[in-house]
Amino acid sequence: MRRILAAVTVAATLFAATACTSDDNKSDQAGGSTKVSVGVIPIIDVAPIYLGKQKGFFSRRGIDLTMVPEQGGAPIVKGVLEGKYPFGFSNATSLMAAQSEGAPLKAVANGVASTGRPGRDFSAIVVGFGSPIRSAKDLAGKRIAVNTLRSLGDTTVRQSVRQAGGNPAGLKFQAMPFADMPDALQADQVDAAWVVEPALSAALTQGGQVVASNYVDTAPDLTVAMYFTGQPTIDKDPELVARFTEAVKESLKYAAGHPDEVRNTVGTYTQINDTVRTAMILPSWPEAINRASLERLATLGRADGIFTKPPALDQLLP
C-alpha cells in the first residue's frame, strides 16, 4: 500500500485530468447513457452490483456499467486514483490507509457487511484436512494466505489470533487470489488461508476446516467494504455520482431480499459448481455503514502498523 500511496499527489493530479474522460467512461450520445467502469473483486461481496446490472438498476439511470476484476482493494484504490475507472469497490482498511495518506477518496455507498455469526460468516480462516491447527491461537508463526498484503486480511486475522490468546507478531502472510486458496491448502503451500465466499465453501467441500471467523472477531456486524470514488469525479460530475449511488443502494436492497438470485449471479463471474453454489454463506448487505465497526478496524490497523496516522472517517464516509 505504501508503494501505491508514495505518489498519491501525482496520481490524484492524473486522476483529475483523466477520470470520466477516457473512452470507457464518457457519455454515449447516441444511446443517451454514460459508460462507467468500476473496479471489483470477483467474490460474493459484489454480487449485488452484478445483479443490479442484470435487473436494469443502472441502465434505468443512464449508466452503461462494466465491471473490471482485480485481486484486491489496494489495486482498485490505485486504479481509481490513476483514472483507470471512476468508481471502485474496496475493503475498508485499504480505503482508510489511502485516505490517511492524503488520497482524495470518498465512499459513496456501503459494500458488504459481516453476518456477525461465529462459524457462519461468509469470511473465515480455514486450514486443510488433517491440519494440527485447531484454533486461531495455533496460527502463531504459520504461513497464511491473504488476497493482498497489509490490508483487511492482515488486521482481521491478527485479531482472531489475539482473541484466541495467541501472538500475532510472527504470522507469515502470503498473497494470492482467493480462488487459488483452496488448492494451495490442499497442496500444503500454506498452513491456513483467509477465504471469503465462494472460495470458502470450495475449501470446505475439499475437507477444509474453519478455525476462526475473523470478521466476527474484529467487530460486531463489521462493515467490510464500500463503493467509492475520487473527489475529482464528485467535483466534475456530482449528478453521475448520485445516480451511481442510487443504483448501488437499490442493488444492495434487492440482493438482500433475493438470496437465490444472488447464488445464481455469483456463478456468472466466478467458476463454481452446484455444491458450492448451494453451500455458500451469504453476507449481509445493509444500506447503512457501521461507523463503530470502522473505528474499531482503524484502531486495530494503527496498532498493526498499517496506518501511519489515524484515518479521518468524517472525510472518507458519505
- The mean predicted confidence, pLDDT, of the chain is 92
pLDDT (tens digit per residue) in 281-298: 999 999 999 999 999 999
Where residue 313 falls among pLDDT bands split at 50, 70, 90?
Answer: very high
Residue 246 has pLDDT above 90, yes or no: yes
Q: Cell 444511446 appears where? A: 31
40 Cβ contact partners less than 8 Å away, ≥ 6 residues apart: 46, 49, 67, 68, 69, 70, 76, 88, 89
pLDDT (tens digit per residue) in 64-94: 999 999 999 999 999 999 999 999 999 999 9
**pLDDT score recorded for residue 89:** 98
Where residue 280 falls among pLDDT bands split at 50, 70, 90?
Answer: very high
Cis amide linkage into residue 198, ω under 30° from 0 = yes
105 Cβ contact partners less than 8 Å away, ≥ 6 residues apart: 77, 80, 81, 95, 98, 99, 228, 229, 230, 231, 316
How many beta carbons lie within 10 A of that of residue 277, not counting itself?
16
Q: How many residues does the chain have?
A: 318
pLDDT (tens digit per residue) in 198-220: 999 999 999 999 999 999 999 99
Residue 19 has pLDDT above 70, yes or no: no
Domain boundaries, the chain: 2-114+221-316, 123-218
Residue 17 has pLDDT above 80, yes or no: no
Distance CA(245)–CA(148), nearest Å, equals 27
Q: Cell 483529475 appears where? A: 16
Where residue 32 falls among pLDDT bands split at 50, 70, 90?
Answer: confident
Domains 2-114+221-316 and 123-218 share a fold: yes
Name the residue with higher pLDDT: 130 or 5. 130
Structurally, at CATH architecture level, domain 123-218 sits in 3-Layer(aba) Sandwich (3.40)
User: Domain 2-114+221-316 sits in which CATH superfamily?
Assistant: Periplasmic binding protein-like II (3.40.190.10)
Distance CA(220)–CA(50), nearest Å, equals 27
Distance CA(311)–CA(107), nearest Å, equals 13
Query: For the chain, how are helix, strand and coil distributed in percent, rounded to 5?
Result: 45, 20, 35
